[in-house]
Amino acid sequence: MKPARILLVIILSVLSISSLADKQQTSTNRASKILNQVDDLWRGSSSHAIASMTVHTRRYTRTMKMEIWSQGRDKTLVRILAPLKEKGAATLKTGNSIYTYLPKIDRTIRLTSAMMSGSWMGSHFTNDDLVKESRMVDDYTPQINFEGERDGRQVMEFTLTPKPDAAVVWGKRVLLVQKNPLLPLHEEYFDEDGKVARTLDFSDVKTLGGQPRPATLTLTPADKPGEYTRIDYQELELNVPVDPGLFSLSSLKKRH
């Protein structure tokens, strides 16, 4: 092959690789923008919510009513309102620390790193889930792997791959989102072996916080057939005034 022809082939190859990289970057940027919008459905500078959590296992089914306050990403307070025997129990997240108050023994416990994989309030959510409230794009690199009609509605499917330095336990996450209005529908969490470890379904769309949002979130563990934890939102307010003192250890013990 003549030198000039070789040079032309090299130039075309470089341009082709560059074009492919630009397309991939554009796709990643678009995916990140959409996922930030999905995150914003549940976020504000602060929030106040009333919700119930139903935990169904092979041995029992129990429902708790909760009041939830948040400020930014680093502060969350969850207080149990009912049933009576658990009223006053509370969980405080501040930064990367979680404290649990148990009114029966009047004791506040700070969760250690060894306790983070444990069940939160007896549910299928973990204490680590409460700490890891960062945006999806902070810990994962997203890509759009499907866009079009599925089951009669326009959807987008995203694959989220952990960033090299992200402190996450999942091998990847796959999220299905409805396009208009933009709403999460279904999410799968994969372990490091590529197997589905749990699923999260979003349903019962209602007007919450001034716009349509799924009012019900159902977490189903793959290794416990028939079991689930369901959270049902009755009220949700975003960007509400919050007393910073609410997120303190002294406030954790108060019964409101």
* 235 token code pair: 């009220």
Q: Which is it for the CA torsion 208, 211, 216, 218, positive or negative?
A: negative
On whether the CB atoms of residues 221 and 117 are closer than 8 A, the answer is no
Q: Is residue 156 part of a domain?
A: yes
Q: Is residue 10 part of a domain?
A: no
Q: What is the pLDDT of residue 28?
A: 83
Give dist(CA 192, CA 173) in Å, integer: 11
On whether the CB atoms of residues 92 and 76 are closer than 8 A, the answer is yes
Our separate counts of H helices and E strands in the chain read 4, 13
Q: Is residue 136 part of a domain?
A: yes
With residue 229 as reference, give the H or E element that holds it: strand 228-238
Q: Is residue 226 part of a domain?
A: yes
Q: What is the pLDDT of residue 21?
A: 40
Q: Is residue 2 part of a domain?
A: no
Domain of residue 54 covers 40-252
pLDDT tens-place string over residues 8-31: 656 555 555 544 344 455 678 899
* 181 token code pair: 């209005």
pTM: 0.86
- Give whole-number Cα distances, 28 to 117, 141, 161, in Å: 31, 7, 11
Q: What is the pLDDT of residue 19?
A: 45
* 60 token code pair: 């029992």
Q: Alpha carbon 5 to chain centroid distance?
A: 53
CATH assignment at residue 134: 2.50.20.10
Backbone angles phi, psi at 53, to 5 degrees: -125, 120
Domain count, the chain: 1
Q: Is residue 21 part of a domain?
A: no
Buried b (16+ CB within 10 A) or exposed e, 146-185: eeeeeeeeebbbbbbebeeeeebbbebbbbbbbeeeebbb
Residues of the chain with pLDDT under 50: 18-23
Q: What is the pLDDT of residue 114?
A: 78
Q: How far apart are the first and last CA of the chain?
A: 83
Q: Is residue 183 part of a domain?
A: yes
Q: Is residue 238 part of a domain?
A: yes
Give dist(CA 178, CA 214) in Å, integer: 11
Q: Which residues contact 151 (CB under 8 A, 6 or more apart)?
A: none
Q: Please provide the average confidence, as pLDDT, over all residues in the chain.
A: 87
